[in-house]
Structure 1
Amino acid sequence: MRWNRLLVGAALTTGLVLSAGATQPPQKADTPAEHAPQGEYSSRAHLATGNEGGRYKLTPERRALLNTIRFAEGTWKDGEDKGYRIIYGGGQFQDLSRHPERVVVKRYISAAAGAYQFLPTTWKGVAQELKLTSFEPRHQDQAALHLVERRGALSEIDRKGLTKNAMAKLAPEWASFPTWTGRSAYGQPVKSHQELASFYSSNLRQLRNQLGA
C-alpha cells in the first residue's frame, strides 16, 4: 500500500516511535500519538462494562487498564470518547467504519489511529481474528484487550492489577509503556511505572465506586 512505501522512505531520515503492533516488520513500524502533558488528569472514567457482544468482558479492572493505555498513548482526553477518533499528532477523524489509514508527518511519520494508536496492519490482523466490522470504540476496546492477551498480561492484570511485570510485557506493544528498567523498549518517550500505576489505581477506584462494586 502507498502509506507503507511512505513510511519506509521517511524512516531513513526521521527515526520512528512505535505504537500498537510495534514488533511487526520494519515497514509496519509507526509512531504513537504525541503524549499528553504529565500533569493532573481528569477524575472522570469510562464506565462501559460487560462483554458488549465481544470476546472480552469489560470488567472494572480491564476498563482501568484500557484507560491507562489511553493515558500513556496520549488519547485519554479526560475520558471522553473523542479519544477514539485521534490520529497521530492529535488530529481527529470522523469515520469510525474503518481505520483511517491516514499518514501524518510531524516530528515523526505515522498512520497510527484510535484510542490505542493501532497501526493499520495491526488493526487489520486483529479485526480479522476477532471478526470486528468497524473501528467504533467497543471494537477498539476488544482489539486492545486482544493485544494485551497475546502479550500474556491479561490474566495477570485480572488477578493482580497493573503490576510492573505486566507493564514490561506490554512495553513491546506500546512504546509508551516502560520495560523492567523503566525505559521504552524502543528508546522513545515513556511513562514511568509510578505514573501508570497511580493512574490505574485511581481510575479503578473511581470505576468501582461509580459502579457500586
Structure 2
Amino acid sequence: MVLCAGASQPPQSSQTLLAGVGDSSRASLSSGNEGGRYELTPERRALLNTIRYAEGTWKDGEDKGYQIMYGGGQFQDLSRHPERVIVKRYTSAAAGAYQFLPKTWKGVAQELRLSSFEPRHQDQAALHLAERRGALDEIDRQGLTKDAMAKLAPEWASFPTKAGHSAYGQPVKSHQELASFYSSNLRQLRNQLGA
C-alpha cells in the first residue's frame, strides 16, 4: 500500500501541466514502452502524472519527484528504493514518484524484473499496480472515472473511495480535483504530440 506524502495543492496551470511531458516523459511517450511491459500512451502518462499530483510528488512535472520520500525529503541513489522510515504526522518508508512502500516495491520489482528505482521503472511499477487493481483497462477506455479512482484508492491513500474518503483515513483529493487534473494533463499531452 502507498501512503499519501503530500499536502493538498491547488490545480496546476496549463503551463505547468506541460512539464509532465518533460525530458523523460516525452521520451517515454514517443517510444512506446521503453522495453517495459506497459506502453506509455497519453492516457497512461496522464494517469501517472495524476497519481504524482495526488501523492504530492508532482513537483511541477519535474523528474525530481521520483526522488521524494514521505514527508518531502529527497534521496539521491536511484539504484534501489531508499527504505528509510520517516516519522511525521504518520510513519512511513514510502518513496518515489508513486510513494512505494519497500515491500510493495520489492514485490513489483521482482514481478517485472526491474533492476533499479529509476523513473522509467517507477512508471512501469505504478502501471502494474493500477492493472492489478483492475483500473488500467477502464482508464484506457474511459479515462479517470470515479470507479477507476475507487479501484486505485486501496493502493494510493490520496485517491478517494466511491464515498470520497481515503481508504486509510489520510488526506485525500476529491474526485473532481483529480478528474480535472487528469483531463487537463491529457489534453496537454495530446496537444504536445499533435494527436
Give the alignment's TM-score, normalised by structure 2.
0.92
Runs of 4+ in 1 over 6 A off after TM superposition: none
Instruction: Deviation per CA, 1:115-144: give whole Å up to 9, x if none.
Output: 000000000000000000000000000000
CA distance in 1, matches of 2:63, 2:141: 27
1:27-106 maps to which residues of 2 (within 5 A)?
31-41=3-13, 42-44=16-18, 45-46=20-21, 47=26, 48-49=28-29, 50-106=32-88
Give the superposed CA RMSD.
1.1
For the residues of structure 2 that align with 1:36 and 1:116, how far apart are their CA atoms?
Answer: 16
Check the 8 A contact 2:67/2:97 in 1, yes or no: yes
AA partner of residue 186 (structure 1): Y
Are the aligned partners of 2:4 and 2:171 in contact in 1 as well (CA < 8 Å)?
no
Q: How does 1:115-194 map to 2 (within 5 A)?
A: 115-194=97-176
Structure 1 position 107 matched with structure 2 position 89:
yes
Q: Which has the higher helix share?
A: 2
**Separation (CA, whole Å) in 1 of partners of 2:86 and 2:168:** 20
Q: Could you tell me how far apart the structure 2 residues matched to 1:175 and 1:125 are?
A: 19
**Residue deviations 1:92-135, cap 9 Å, x none?**
00000000001111122111000000000000000000000000
Q: CA deviation at 1:187?
A: 1.6
Report the Cα offset of residue 36 of structure 1: 4.7
3-state secondary structure, aligned to 2:17: coil
Aligned partners of 1:36 and 1:71 also within 8 Å: no
What is the count of residue pairs matched by the alignment? Answer: 185
User: CA 1:57 to 1:40, structure 2 compared with 1: closer, same or farther past 3 Å?
Assistant: closer
- Comparing 97-106 and 75-84, the one that deviates more: 97-106
Structure 2 unmatched runs, 5+? none
Identity %: 81
Shift of 1:58: 0.3
CA distance in structure 2 between the partners assigned to 1:153 and 1:135 by the alignment: 23
Indicate the residue corresponding to 1:204 in structure 2. Answer: 186
**Per chain length, whose mean CA-contact separation is higher, i.e. which structure has more relative contact order (CA < 8 Å, sep 6+)?**
2
What are the ranges of 5 or more consecutive residues in structure 1 without an aligned counterpart?
1-18, 21-30
Q: Between Structure 1 and Structure 2, whose CA radius of gyration is higher?
A: 1
Alpha carbons 1:145, 1:154 under 8 Å: kept? yes
